[in-house]
Amino acid sequence: MKKIVVAITGASGTIYGLRLLKALKANPAVQTHLIMTKWAWENLAIEHTGYTKQGVLDLADEVYNERNMGAAVASGSFLHDGMVIVPASMKTIASIATGMGDTLVGRAADVTLKERRPLLIVPRESPFNQIHLENMLKLSKMGVEIIPPIPAFYNNPQTIDDIINHNTMKLLDHLHIENQLSQRWQGINQAHQS
């Protein structure tokens, strides 16, 4: 069974994290470990996600308080197959890039890095300033996969759900979890080009 750590921070776009949890929950071969920050819980209501607190808790196998520095995911001896921070606030990214580890999200990410396990970060900010870019570049050089939720249009999305599903598909792909959440690029038929 794969174990995936999912952290949802206070950046806008809580639905991206919830959709990932929902997709992982649907896979019986995956166990999820959720860390949700105080501001992520606030965004749950502000962004009208349609989820209640209990609905979110039901999506995860294990849930940790962001202040619980003694949680299983705070230790390198806790074996997992990857961590996804979705959405990731710039504060969280800065904390990880400087190794602060002052919250459970930061500590779990630090442990993921030191144990050389996959760490995926979905930054939710625009435009990026130089500090944001430098922090993401620093993390990228350490092997972190930076996957912003930028929509694709080759699949002709008709709804916001289509856009969210496409990003979730990418995250699952990078975690090496098979899925068919969104239409994949099939190439261009040369016969139709002028």
Please determine, for residue 135, whether its predicted confidence score (pLDDT) is greater than 90: yes
Q: Judge whether 159 is annotated as a binding position.
A: no
Task: Check if CATH label 3.10.450.50 holds for domain 2-183.
Answer: no
% of the chain exceeding 70 in pLDDT = 97
* Residue of 92, 31, 104 lying closest to 62 (CA atoms): 31
Per mean pLDDT, which range of 24-38, 59-73, 77-91, 173-187 is the poorest?
173-187
Average pLDDT of the chain to the nearest whole number? 94
Distance, CA of 145 to CA of 168 (rounded, Å): 14
Residue 29 annotated as lining a ligand binding site:
no
pLDDT level of residue 194 (50, 70, 90 thresholds): low
Residue 90 is labelled as binding a ligand? yes
Query: Any binding-site annotation on 75?
Result: no
DSSP character at residue 133: H
The residues facing 74 across adjacent strands are none
For residue 185, pLDDT beyond 80: no
pLDDT at 125 over 70: yes
pLDDT digits (tens, 9 = 90+) for 144-172: 999 999 999 988 999 999 999 999 999 99
Residue type, 13: G
Q: Looking at residue 186, what is its pLDDT?
A: 79
**CA gap 128, 78 in Å, rounded:** 34
**Is 49 part of any known ligand binding site?**
no
Structural domain boundaries in the chain: 2-183
- Is 92 among the annotated ligand-binding positions? yes
To the question of whether residue 10 is assigned a binding role by annotation, the answer is yes
Q: Is the pLDDT of residue 138 over 80?
A: yes
Q: Is the dihedral of CA 128, 134, 135, 141 positive or negative?
A: positive
Q: Is 64 annotated as a binding residue?
A: no
**Is 116 labelled as part of a ligand binding site?**
no
- The pTM score is 0.94
